[in-house]
Structure 1
Amino acid sequence: MRKPNFEKAAKIAVLTLACIYTAGCKKSLDEGDPGISMAEAEKKAAELGNVIVRPTYNSTSFLRNPLNGWVMYGKRDATDAYWDTQFFVPELGANVKAIDYASACYIRTSWRSLNPSPGVYTWRDLTSQMGKLINGVKTRGLPIAFRIVVDGRDQGENTPAFVFNAGAGYWLSNPANTSQKTPFPQDPIFRQHFTTLIEELAKDFNDPVITSFIDAYGLGKWGEAHNVVYAAPGTLTDAQTEAAKAETLDWITGLYARTFTKIPLVINYHRLIGHPTSWGAVNANSNMLLTNSINNKGYSLRHDAFAMTDYYQSWEKAFAATWKHKRPIIMEGGWIVTGTHRYWIDSGGQYREGHPEDVRQAEFDRSAEAAVNMMDFRVGETTSWFQTSFPLVQRFNTEGGYRLYPDEVALPNTIAAGATASLSHRWVNMGWGYCPNNIPQWNYKYKVAFALLDASGAVKKLFIDNASDPSKWIKNNPITYNFTTTSVDLTPGTYSWAIAIVDKTNGNKPGIALAVTGNVTNGWLKLGDVEVQSAVTTPPIGQSIKLRGSNNQFASGENGQTAMMCNRPTASTWETFTIVDAGGGKVALKSMNKYVSSENGATTGITCSRTTISDWEKFDWIVNANGRISLRGNNGKYISSEDGQSVMKCNRATVSGWETFALN
């Protein structure tokens, strides 16, 4: 490789080691990470005739990646300036914007705010409050997440009046306040109009570029999936309640799964999922109902109030553990600084009044335990995150969710036009979460890809390793892939190898930001130069060539004075050979007016010392699939470079890396 930010190894090194920034190469995996040793990696690369590149992990960068990182909350009544709200950070001695640390914006809103009357959808009207709110997010480059609330007991008219006017059944918890109607979710009129809403919403937001996830249940108080009303209290038997729960959950999750086919769907994993009560012992059917939604509808997990011990108990922790690294988990913090759920009266008794940082630490710890992908800057709680717990904000950005990078790549730096390249790449996830490539809405759309870039950085050739799967990259478990490209059918010249995780549903563009320090352009991490050479299909009779081994060194005839070696970093006259037609489809190699001889295997080393051509000086010229050539002597064995560590011999029964040579 020829770029100035790559260092050549010593003259007799087995291969070139490379790094992507001038501070030096990464010598080993971070402490605690398993993986093969450097020596083993170098040996494997040498066998393939490749060089090793070891990108350097970036442990501090903030990465905005899909379904990963902090979530900023939107407010129904927010003005456009809301998104630029600043918070003072003592550790920085400066103000910062929460949006600069967020990867998505969560809007928990009412059905009425989105659809106040039949056929009217406020998000399509940029002059409406909702239109301004959503547009404010979009113009700042963040994807949106939704929860749609229909219950009217605490917040008033969350379901629009036209639904009840059409005859939908409801329960009124306070007859004196007729705006607090809560619809029965099994009512056919309610379902008809709600289905229309979700179908219309999906027309505009079933797009992963603009939508992060959908909190796709929304029933019950605050849409949190508990305290759901199916009938007036005392009307249904226990069996009828359980039947209503199961049927309703199947209906609403089916609706979202049918309409939002490209967007992650999440559900609150409450121990009383869909139940008419909020408090009490675990319902026997909760696990079954949630598991059905996950397995049958492709749902992921979200839980409210991670640090509020009355909400987040042992059942919730155990359920999260069951799905750890199988489905992504999103954490919502507790409403603890203001309102009725003051943290110092939490039943856990672990929080000091006047110290919201106690709760922030607990949320962080519970999130690490559950390996969550996303945490919340909840409205009313954001200030305390920045003013009392900013180090935790930074830690989650660098420790939580997923942080992916290739810690080792082996690839050729020369290749013949039209040939294929055999590569290997190893990936490490330094975050405690995982990249949920396996959820049905993503359907394994993220794959590792290699590109050959021209001098302007344009992709001239793209190779996708379809065997790669980021959802399997878990912390402390590096995974290596061996990959053979398709034909490198490019005009001979110098190109740059680059690597990325691409989105196959978005034109194979890079879709995951990598946690690396290096030359990254448009999502592609440059690895170094590769020389695409003219294809050699027949022996170049009469031409002078140089033979470069898999160790990147040149073979020398040694002027016939000693056995040949393949250890020269540059090629001069002793390293130049003329290809001579030896008859019968065979060739001879001539240097300094002498011929290379196999010496029938030459256990003491082949020489370039014969003045005439006999059988030992004849070789079969073999072009390998990767465009490199091999030379087979009259003993049926192949010449080996011996990796430059000893004299060259003609005694190998098969071709591997040491038995192949590039032409220069």
Structure 2
Amino acid sequence: MKQLSIASSGKIALLALLGLQSLSCTKIQVEDLPGTNDAWTQKRAVTGADNNILVRPAYDSTTVLRNPLNGWVMYGQRTATDTYWDTQFYVPELGQNVKAIDYASACYIRTSWRSLNPSPGVYAWRDLNSQIGKLINGVKTRGLPIAFRIVVDGRDQGANTPQFVFDAGAAYWLSNPAAPTQKTPFPQDSVFRQYYTTFIEELAKDFNDPARTSFIDAYGLGKWGEAHNVVYAEPGILTAEQTETTKEEVLDWIMALYNRTFTKVPLVINYHRLIGHPTSWGAVNANSERLLVKAINQGYSLRHDAFGMNGYYQSWERNFATAWKHKRPIIMEGGWIVGSHSYWNDPSGQYRQGHPEDVRLGEFNASAQAHVNMMDFRVGETTSWFGTSFPLVQRFNSEGGYRLYPDEISLPDVVANGAVAVLSHRWKNMGWGYCPNNIPQWNYKYKVAFAILDTAGTVKKLFTDNNSDPSQWLKDNPTTYNFTTTAINLPPGTYTWAIAIIDKTNADKPGIALAVTGNFANGWLKLGSLQVQAAPPIGQSIKLKGSNNLFVSGENGEAPMRCNRPAASTWETFTIVDAGGGKIALRSMNKYVSSENGATSGITCSRTTISDWEKFDWIVNANGKVSFRGNNGKYISSEDGQSVMKCNRASIAGWETFALE
């Protein structure tokens, strides 16, 4: 087979380049195609739609893919400046310093309401001269989304709720009278809710944007905002029954607030055995699972802040994660254990004193068991991730979260203008997590799409497979889709097939980075060339002259066809018939030409109906002559008139071209 170029001649508009381009993909079976190099081989498929090309992109197991709700999260300090994000850590395996942000997909700030809203109507993130404004903007300028947890509890960390809220009359508890600034507001208080609602509404105006925000920790009550040790009243005021009623009412209120304001950004809540309870740790509260399921049913995803701390992350938490595996994404935060705890006293007995790498491995293994989508470079812990456990950093990028790619794609390399293309595509997820396309804030916005690109890489046609759903792609379970495009109405010429997972809410642009090594154009993975040909002249009668300047004869269906007639009469006249799917059939004397799957004994014009062997691709060559490709992927040859015609040629040369008369 040789490459062909565009020309025009005779009765039809002529075109363009047959075959697939040389890409970083592999293909299988039957026939070598043109334009290949040593990096891959192009083959014509023997499965799928007739004469399709089977493309097998090369999997990329190492590149850091910055995909939404996936990968490492770099933890920020609210007291830091924007240069914090460029902090470097020494990696012994590399013998050099690296930036943690280069391995992350998002940055996270656990900060106070007061730091973001110090006075009424003042929102520090909008002031790029403020410290917190610089820190938040620093994430944006480095091309990563940010995530927030907003803390209001005043214990341990100091004044986390703005003083103006208390000045307005919000009720609170002061756990330490010697520290009068450490007030903790009661979340059911109406004044607190009024001001907090205004603050969250303003925050959402700027951060309800998936391009800017990875997720929102949308609870934030309790010590450190971790959803435990929540204060509803001074000690001893509420009965157990009142506590449970208040706890659920507060949860309902705060979920309604965040769901109303953050409609496009994932919301998360800690899955905790004492969710929203006034105590920090203890036996499982009877209502915890019900309240968490309620939150999940209202759109929340999951997070836990004590991976690696086995006194806190116990069987209840592990079982809860298992129950929601691949139904809701889980975000892992490691416990602040190496930096501040005697981690070697962990009840698991797995951690040796002086070996922080034991803790990192414990966190990694617990994350694998929970099938988490995101892991955390926590402040105080990041140094040991890079200094003692860098292979685990790399492993999570390769093995954790979701890592998607199409491992097989079947598609045509030639179509007639106005015809449809019958495609198939198979997807693999090489990560232990999943792409949470099913969460309400995303609402299945990610879909597989095929694009036809022009020579400049511009999308000329886009076809979305709305049946595709990345949230269904799980490790070791490849998923295949069959898809038929709408009519491909494009001027005849040479184009390029491409594929992507698009974001339907963002102008159908590619939204998920694929784990493949290949040639990309604006996020589209190029698959190979597509020749759009002028539509065959359906219904017209033609005569076919071979390269020997003699005419093809149907032999009235009484013998194998030959190309040896010096003049054309009725046996040498063929009508072009629409065979469906962009293919044609050739009819002479009320009978159809059949390829007979190659017909070693010679093709015939003897069939009374059209089946697969009677369907051909109509291919226009650069010199204006046409060729016919059968359902076996082979081309009809005139055999130079020296023997009966056959349909067994792997490529087009002189004997496989015919002039129209």
TM-score per shorter chain, which class?
Answer: 0.7 to 0.9
Q: Could you tell me whether the CA contact under 8 Å between 2:422 and 2:484 is conserved in 1?
A: yes
Summarize the alignment of residues 551-630 of structure 1 with structure 2, pairs less than 5 Å apart: 573=547, 592-597=550-555, 599=557, 620-630=575-585
Look up the match of 1:130. 132
Q: Judging changes above 3 Å, is the alpha-carbon distance between structure 1 residues 91 and 430 closer, same or farther for their aligned structure 2 residues?
A: same
Encode CA deviations 1:279-323: one digit per residue, 9 max, x unaligned. 11111111110111111x211111111110011111111111111
The alignment of Structure 1 onto Structure 2 pairs a total of residues equal to 601
Indicate which of 28, 38, 45 corresponds to 1:42: 45
Give the match's secondary structure for 2:93. coil
Q: Judging changes above 3 Å, is the alpha-carbon distance between structure 1 residues 647 and 163 closer, same or farther for their aligned structure 2 residues?
A: farther
Distance in 1, Cα, partners of 2:37 & 2:66: 22
Q: How far has the Cα of 1:217 moved from its partner?
A: 0.5
Q: Could you tell me whether the CA contact under 8 Å between 2:226 and 2:270 is conserved in 1?
A: yes
Q: Could you tell me whether the CA contact under 8 Å between 2:543 and 2:552 is conserved in 1?
A: no
Distance in 1, Cα, partners of 2:239 & 2:593: 83
Q: Which has the higher contact order (CA 8 A, sep 6+)?
A: 2
Alignment gaps of 5+ in structure 2? 1-18, 621-661
Q: Does 1:660 align with 2:635?
A: no
Identity %: 67
Look up the match of 2:392. 392
Q: Could you tell me whether the CA contact under 8 Å between 2:210 and 2:265 is conserved in 1?
A: yes
Indicate which of 21, 25, 29 corresponds to 1:3: 21
Summarize the alignment of residues 436-447 of structure 1 with structure 2, pairs less than 5 Å apart: 436-447=436-447
Q: Does 1:354 align with 2:310?
A: no
Distance in 2, Cα, partners of 1:352 & 1:124: 46
Summarize the alignment of residues 328-343 of structure 1 with structure 2, pairs less than 5 Å apart: 328-339=329-340, 341-343=341-343
Encode CA deviations 1:244-298: one digit per residue, 9 max, x unaligned. 1111111101111110000000110001111111111111111110111111x21
Encode CA deviations 1:222-258: one digit per residue, 9 max, x unaligned. 0000111111112111111111111111110111111
Look up the match of 2:379. 379
Distance in 1, Cα, partners of 2:428 & 2:34: 18
Give the match's secondary structure for 1:142. coil
Q: How far has the Cα of 1:20 moved from its partner?
A: 8.8
Look up the match of 2:175. 173
Indicate which of 61, 64, 76 corresponds to 2:63: 61
Look up the match of 1:317. 318
Q: Judging changes above 3 Å, is the alpha-carbon distance between structure 1 residues 487 and 594 closer, same or farther for their aligned structure 2 residues?
A: closer
Q: Could you tell me whether the CA contact under 8 Å between 2:25 and 2:56 is conserved in 1?
A: no
Q: Could you tell me whether the CA contact under 8 Å between 1:492 and 1:533 is conserved in 2?
A: yes
Q: Could you tell me whether the CA contact under 8 Å between 2:24 and 2:57 is conserved in 1?
A: no
Look up the match of 2:211. 209
Summarize the alignment of residues 32-181 of structure 1 with structure 2, pairs less than 5 Å apart: 42-45=45-48, 47-181=49-183
Q: Judging changes above 3 Å, is the alpha-carbon distance between structure 1 residues 269 and 643 closer, same or farther for their aligned structure 2 residues?
A: farther
Give the match's secondary structure for 1:55. strand
Summarize the alignment of residues 467-616 of structure 1 with structure 2, pairs less than 5 Å apart: 467-539=467-539, 541-542=541-542, 573=547, 592-597=550-555, 599=557
Amino acid in the other structure paired with 1:327: R
Q: Judging changes above 3 Å, is the alpha-carbon distance between structure 1 residues 173 and 640 closer, same or farther for their aligned structure 2 residues?
A: same
Q: Judging changes above 3 Å, is the alpha-carbon distance between structure 1 residues 85 and 19 closer, same or farther for their aligned structure 2 residues?
A: farther
Give the match's secondary structure for 2:359. helix
Encode CA deviations 1:103-142: one digit per residue, 9 max, x unaligned. 0000100000011111111101011111011011111111
Q: Could you tell me whether the CA contact under 8 Å between 2:89 and 2:386 is conserved in 1?
A: yes
Q: Judging changes above 3 Å, is the alpha-carbon distance between structure 1 residues 401 and 25 closer, same or farther for their aligned structure 2 residues?
A: farther
Look up the match of 1:411. 411
Give the match's secondary structure for 1:393. helix
Distance in 1, Cα, partners of 2:366 & 2:266: 22
Q: How far has the Cα of 1:169 moved from its partner?
A: 1.1
Look up the match of 2:199. 197
Q: Judging changes above 3 Å, is the alpha-carbon distance between structure 1 residues 466 and 647 closer, same or farther for their aligned structure 2 residues?
A: farther
Q: Judging changes above 3 Å, is the alpha-carbon distance between structure 1 residues 620 and 302 closer, same or farther for their aligned structure 2 residues?
A: same
Q: CA RMSD in A?
A: 2.6
Look up the match of 2:364. 364
Look up the match of 1:588. none
Q: Judging changes above 3 Å, is the alpha-carbon distance between structure 1 residues 538 and 24 closer, same or farther for their aligned structure 2 residues?
A: closer
Q: Judging changes above 3 Å, is the alpha-carbon distance between structure 1 residues 61 and 498 closer, same or farther for their aligned structure 2 residues?
A: same
Give the match's secondary structure for 1:288. helix
Amino acid in the other structure paired with 1:648: I
Amino acid in the other structure paired with 2:395: R
Q: Judging changes above 3 Å, is the alpha-carbon distance between structure 1 residues 479 and 633 closer, same or farther for their aligned structure 2 residues?
A: farther
Residue range with higher mean Cα deviation, 212-221 or 279-288: 279-288
Q: Could you tell me whether the CA contact under 8 Å between 2:26 and 2:58 is conserved in 1?
A: no
Q: How far has the Cα of 1:620 moved from its partner?
A: 4.9
Distance in 1, Cα, partners of 2:332 & 2:410: 38
Residue range with higher mean Cα deviation, 361-370 or 605-614: 605-614
Residue range with higher mean Cα deviation, 619-628 or 163-172: 619-628
Distance in 2, Cα, partners of 1:184 & 1:168: 8
Indicate which of 572, 586, 597 corresponds to 1:631: 586
Encode CA deviations 1:575-600: one digit per residue, 9 max, x unaligned. xxxxxxxxxxxxxxxx8234124626
Point out 4+ residue stretches in structure 1 off by more than 3 angstroms. 4-10, 13-22, 539-545, 605-620, 632-638, 643-658
Name the TM-score, length of structure 1 as normaliser.
Answer: 0.85
Q: Judging changes above 3 Å, is the alpha-carbon distance between structure 1 residues 613 and 124 closer, same or farther for their aligned structure 2 residues?
A: same
Q: How far has the Cα of 1:80 moved from its partner?
A: 2.3
Distance in 2, Cα, partners of 1:202 & 1:191: 16
Encode CA deviations 1:415-447: one digit per residue, 9 max, x unaligned. 111221111111111111111111110111111
Amino acid in the other structure paired with 2:410: A
Q: How far has the Cα of 1:613 moved from its partner?
A: 8.1
Q: How far has the Cα of 1:608 moved from its partner?
A: 5.2
Q: Judging changes above 3 Å, is the alpha-carbon distance between structure 1 residues 635 and 398 closer, same or farther for their aligned structure 2 residues?
A: same
Q: Does 1:222 align with 2:196?
A: no
Distance in 2, Cα, partners of 1:179 & 1:26: 70
Amino acid in the other structure paired with 1:659: K
Encode CA deviations 1:358-397: one digit per residue, 9 max, x unaligned. 0100111111111111000000000000000000000101
Distance in 2, Cα, partners of 1:460 & 1:535: 18
Amino acid in the other structure paired with 1:108: R
Q: Judging changes above 3 Å, is the alpha-carbon distance between structure 1 residues 345 and 186 closer, same or farther for their aligned structure 2 residues?
A: same
Distance in 2, Cα, partners of 1:7 & 1:65: 22
Residue range with higher mean Cα deviation, 271-280 or 535-544: 535-544
Look up the match of 1:579. none
Q: Could you tell me whether the CA contact under 8 Å between 1:145 and 1:214 is conserved in 2?
A: yes
Distance in 2, Cα, partners of 1:19 & 1:475: 34
Distance in 1, Cα, partners of 2:486 & 2:338: 58
Q: Could you tell me whether the CA contact under 8 Å between 1:26 and 1:54 is conserved in 2?
A: no
Name the TM-score, length of structure 2 as normaliser.
Answer: 0.86
Encode CA deviations 1:580-630: one digit per residue, 9 max, x unaligned. xxxxxxxxxxx8234124626x7xx55557789898777552224443212
Q: Could you tell me whether the CA contact under 8 Å between 2:227 and 2:272 is conserved in 1?
A: yes
Q: Judging changes above 3 Å, is the alpha-carbon distance between structure 1 residues 658 and 540 closer, same or farther for their aligned structure 2 residues?
A: closer
Distance in 2, Cα, partners of 1:372 & 1:155: 29
Look up the match of 1:327. 328
Q: How far has the Cα of 1:17 moved from its partner?
A: 6.6
Q: Could you tell me whether the CA contact under 8 Å between 1:18 and 1:53 is conserved in 2?
A: no
Alignment gaps of 5+ in structure 1? 28-40, 546-571, 575-590
Look up the match of 2:629. none
Distance in 2, Cα, partners of 1:360 & 1:645: 66
Residue range with higher mean Cα deviation, 142-151 or 649-658: 649-658
Amino acid in the other structure paired with 1:193: Y
Q: Could you tell me whether the CA contact under 8 Å between 1:445 and 1:505 is conserved in 2?
A: yes
